């Protein structure tokens, strides 16, 4: 998938961007999807593991060098134990805000400051690298639709698409496209855990949490 240096949460945030309307679609649940991506990335990197259904840091001192992922690692370490589903929603907006700041620093977004009613400061975000995001979205659609065999899709790309589809992200999966993809999605979900037995075990719970609207 293009822009291979982007982490899973960053990719998912950009996949949700409506490039025509210049806004993030599915905004109500986007923070849960982004958090799910961060959890998945940390499991893939071997920094979070599963202990009887509890998301557990593998090393209390390890860092990724990615501010978004390290922020979530620190939160998990400092909080009381929680199951994976709880971590998809718990303080999830903090992870989304960190991703947005990261993408702004990397030039994908531009922050525009203004004032509501001329008094209250606010920030609006504008997509800068439109062509890059469109390429990312188109490649995700190809992963979802084929014709590339699932076995030839990287486990990372499969995870991105499985998560985005679980959230019914409209930029990836328009309403008319939601039928007839079940078998492909099941295969992509299985492919997502190919490189990590831990991820294979916890991903179904993470996907379920993303697909069920929840406050948080």
Reduced to 3 states, what is the DSSP secondary structure of residue 4?
A: coil
Residue 126 has pLDDT above 50, yes or no: yes
Residue 5: per-residue pLDDT: 81
**Average confidence (pLDDT) over 155-163:** 95
Q: CB-based burial of residue 31 (10 Å sphere; 0-12 exposed, 13-18 middle, 19+ buried)?
A: buried
Residue 154 has pLDDT above 80, yes or no: yes
Going by DSSP bridges, is the β-strand pair 48-51/17-18 parallel, antiparallel, or unpaired? unpaired
**DSSP H stretches of helix in the chain:** 8-15, 27-44, 67-78, 84-89, 92-105, 130-145, 155-166, 182-192, 197-211
Q: CB-based contacts of 11: which residues, under 8 Å, 6+ apart?
A: 1, 3, 37, 136, 160
Residue 1: per-residue pLDDT: 56
Reduced to 3 states, what is the DSSP secondary structure of residue 190?
A: helix
Q: Is this prediction's pTM over 0.85?
A: yes
Residue 179: per-residue pLDDT: 61
Q: How far apart are CA 194 and CA 201, in angstroms?
A: 11
Q: How far apart are CA 8 and CA 166, in angstroms?
A: 15
**pLDDT, tens only, 6-36:** 999 999 999 999 888 777 776 678 999 999 9
Residue 178: per-residue pLDDT: 58
| Cα–Cα distance list, 135 to 15, 73, 107 (Å) | 10, 30, 16
**Average confidence (pLDDT) over 133-142:** 94
Q: How far apart are CA 66 and CA 86, in angstroms?
A: 23
Residue 214: per-residue pLDDT: 47
Per the model's pLDDT, the better-predicted residue between 121 and 74 turns out to be: 74
Q: How far apart are CA 147 and CA 215, in angstroms?
A: 37
**Average confidence (pLDDT) over 186-203:** 93
Q: How far apart are CA 58 and CA 50, in angstroms?
A: 9
């Amino acid at each position: 998938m293009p822009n291979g240096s982007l982490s899973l949460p960053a990719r998912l945030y950009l996949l949700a961007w409506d490039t025509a309307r210049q806004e993030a679609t599915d905004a109500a649940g986007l923070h849960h999807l982004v958090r799910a991506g961060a959890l998945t990335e940390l499991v893939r990197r071997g920094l979070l593991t599963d202990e009887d259904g509890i998301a557990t840091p593998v090393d209390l001192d390890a860092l990724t060098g990615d501010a978004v992922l390290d922020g979530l690692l620190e939160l998990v370490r400092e909080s009381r134990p929680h199951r994976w589903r709880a971590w998809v929603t718990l303080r999830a907006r903090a992870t989304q805000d960190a991703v947005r700041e990261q993408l702004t620093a990397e030039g994908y977004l531009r922050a525009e400051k203004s004032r509501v009613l001329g008094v209250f400061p606010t920030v609006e975000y504008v997509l800068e690298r439109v062509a890059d995001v469109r390429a990312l979205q188109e490649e995700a659609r190809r992963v979802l639709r084929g014709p590339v065999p699932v076995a030839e899709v990287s486990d990372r790309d499969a995870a991105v698409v499985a998560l985005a589809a679980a959230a019914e992200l409209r930029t990836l999966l328009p309403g008319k496209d939601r039928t007839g993809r079940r078998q492909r999605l099941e295969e992509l979900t299985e492919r997502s855990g190919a490189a990590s037995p831990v991820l294979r075990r916890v991903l179904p719970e993470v996907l379920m949490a993303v697909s069920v609207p929840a406050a948080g």
